[in-house]
Amino acid sequence: MTILDAQNDLPAFRQAIRDWLAEVVPPDWKARMARADNDEFIAFQRWWMAERSKVGLAIPHWPVEYGGAGLTLRHLIVIADEMARADAPQARMFTISLIHLPGTLFPHGTEAQKRRYLAGVAKGDVWCQGFSEPNSGSDLASLRTRAVRDGDHYVINGQKIWSSYSMYADRCILLTRTDPDAQKHRGITYFIMDMRSPGVEVRPIRQANGRSEFGEMFLTNVRIPAEDMIGRENNGWRVAQATLASERGVIAFEGAERQRYEVETFYRKALESDAAWLHDDQLRREFMSFLAEMQAGRRLLRRVLAESETPEASASVLPSIVKLSATVLRQRICSFMTRIAGVEGQEFAMLAEEPFGSPMFDFLSAFSGTIAGGTNEIQRNIVAERGLGMPRI
């Protein structure tokens, strides 16, 4: 029996995934990736995607007619939980390919676009996102990258920033301004861009934690066929809402479960070694407050998942609340780990084998969470205006 053969029996489905992970995940993968260069990292990500494809776990949530297994949200939760439990590799390089692309094309793409572009994802196509710009990150609707119609093409000029793995991407989902005189939300058009097109330049951005996951894109007279427009001209803001909405739910759930297992493993080892911080009343109180907040966040995430299948989901502020609380909590946890580690905690490793094995790396990395996926300042505005009914200033 294969994993997908067990999909009608959730306990059996869970056990099949657990058995597969025990068989296929290399026990030394973290140690290997900690020493890996970019080429080795890319090769490993592609290998992991290929392994998932072999057993139907690359795009399990997609409809059958587009190569998926048509699995339900309950199945996706089981998959995410078992991936977290096994501390399996994450398909980070394929996040846009697996989540944002289908979240956009299924409701707004043409049948030709779906047939042309979705099939490549399970085979390893990498997509990136061209949304944020140097002067329009928090206020995405103020973007300035221009698209001008020229026959059966659009000519693109502009700049994008903070595009994850764009230096390795095959294609990009891109927001542009096609009507500079319209109200800023109404003059935006959404495109698919081939990253190998003449005029596309990507420069990696080195982060404070030493990684270079993000790229800055410079677009100079890039020609995009009109058939690669998603939705109608000047209606891109509406399409973009589908892209942004696809971020909610299972990604956050898996992240929360991974953190849960990390913290539990750390605490168990601290008890076994009788760690010094356990004898400090204030540090113990601080750690226990993390545990309580973490469990509350997990409960809240389950409400978000349940709500995601209802008509009210699009107007909910729960995802913003979850994002706010989870990212701030992560910073506090990583600050705690850095402080109790002392001088040894300053040692830097890109990917530690043990949970919180490189506290300074985790601490520096935690700050990106308050920016990615909509800054926390924007999330607070959403909660204030949509949730509390406060006036816009």
Is there a domain that residue 111 lies in?
Answer: no
Same domain membership, residue 295 and residue 224: no
Same domain membership, residue 175 and residue 271: no
Residue where a domain stops, chosen among 187, 211, 235 = 235
Q: For residues 47 and 43, what is the distance between their CA atoms, to the nearest angstrom? A: 6
pLDDT of amino acid 35: 78
> What CATH number should be reported for the domain holding residue 289?
1.20.140.10
* 131-168 residue pLDDT tens: 999 987 667 888 999 999 999 999 999 999 989 999 99
* 265-313 residue pLDDT tens: 999 999 999 999 999 999 999 999 999 999 999 999 988 888 877 777 7
Q: Which two tokens stand for residue 178?
A: 């096609």
Residue where a domain stops, chosen among 201, 235, 269 = 235
Same domain membership, residue 376 and residue 308: yes
Same domain membership, residue 278 and residue 229: no
Q: For residues 19 and 12, what is the distance between their CA atoms, to the nearest angstrom? A: 10
Same domain membership, residue 180 and residue 282: no
> What CATH number should be reported for the domain holding residue 70?
1.10.540.10
Is there a domain that residue 197 lies in?
Answer: yes
Counting as low any pLDDT under 70, the low residues of the chain are 1, 137-138, 247-248, 314, 345, 347-354, 393
247 belongs to the catalytic site:
yes
The parent domain of residue 275 ranges over 247-387
Its sign, for the CA torsion 33, 38, 44, 50, is positive
Is there a domain that residue 104 lies in?
Answer: no
Same domain membership, residue 260 and residue 222: no
Among 236, 259, 256, which Cα is nearest to 173's?
236
How many residues are given for the chain?
A: 393
Is there a domain that residue 113 lies in?
Answer: no
Same domain membership, residue 260 and residue 183: no
Residue among 247, 254, 257, 262 flagged as catalytic: 247
Give how many domains the chain has, as a whole number: 3
Is there a domain that residue 165 lies in?
Answer: yes
pLDDT of amino acid 109: 96
Same domain membership, residue 257 and residue 332: yes
Among 96, 90, 97, which Cα is nearest to 120's?
97
CB 97 within 8 A of CB 121: yes
Q: Which two tokens stand for residue 119?
A: 């099939």
* Backbone torsions φ then ψ of 153, nearest 5 degrees: -130, 165
The C-alpha R_g of the chain, in whole angstroms, comes to 22
Query: What dihedral angle (degrees, nearest 10) is formed by the CA atoms of 178, 182, 186, 192?
Result: 10
Same domain membership, residue 252 and residue 197: no
Same domain membership, residue 293 and residue 347: yes
Is there a domain that residue 114 lies in?
Answer: no
Same domain membership, residue 201 and residue 81: no
Residue where a domain stops, chosen among 183, 209, 235 = 235
